[in-house]
A and B are shown apart, each in its own frame.
Chain A
Amino acid sequence: NAGVTQTPKFQVLKTGQSMTLQCAQDMNHNSMYWYRQDPGMGLRLIYYSASEGTTDKGEVPNGYNVSRLNKREFSLRLESAAPSQTSVYFCASSPQGANTEAFFGQGTRLTVV
């Protein structure tokens, strides 16, 4: 029972490089989310996908793009990484929207130098 799987767990990028963070859930959830977590800032929503085929901006979308590839997978892309994007990234899923139990992946620790 994998739940929410994120890859990679750690990544170091140089400024200007691009990369995609992968997320997959096996719980048949409709809604998926990407968060970043910085010290003292809590969890800030980057993008979310209410259901397959839809994506919407969250609180801090600048510098990111997302793709809801299918119901299971929701990827986050950094086109041109900046040091300000150094953070821990979490993917989460929930059965249907907010106001319910959400399940988080293990996180990706990204450092941009």
Chain B
Amino acid sequence: GQQVMQIPQYQHVQEGEDFTTYCNSSTTLSNIQWYKQRPGGHPVFLIQLVKSGEVKKQKRLTFQFGEAKKNSSLHITATQTTDVGTYFCDFGAGSYQLTFGKGTKLSVIP
């Protein structure tokens, strides 16, 4: 079956430092979605990547889809305390199944 590893599981950064989380798949993905879940909250959609090599930016967040469509990353520049939460990738294992990685929990130390 499709295997997707999300790394790291936890990341603690000093405010102002950069942060990156990765989703790595054993098979080619058709597309990938990224979500953010604040502590005590629910997952909220951030972005979808579809094309090989695609790069999208949202303010301090940069999302990339690998050339082979087997990996993706979310990079946050100069983290702020508002970035705290868990970031998930959804790699859609089936046509009707949203399938999530285990998530990366980001803590930001002020």
Contact = CB atoms under 8 A, between A and B. Distances in A.
A97 B65 CA distance: 21
A45 B43 contact: no
Interface in B33-84: 33, 41-45, 48
A92 B103 contact: no
A53 interface: no
A43 interface: yes
Contacts, number: 66
Interface residues of B, number: 25
A2 interface: no
A98 B95 contact: yes
Interface of A: 31, 33, 40-43, 45, 48, 50, 56, 58, 90, 92, 94, 97-107
Contact of A99 (B31, B101, B102): B31
B94 A43 contact: no
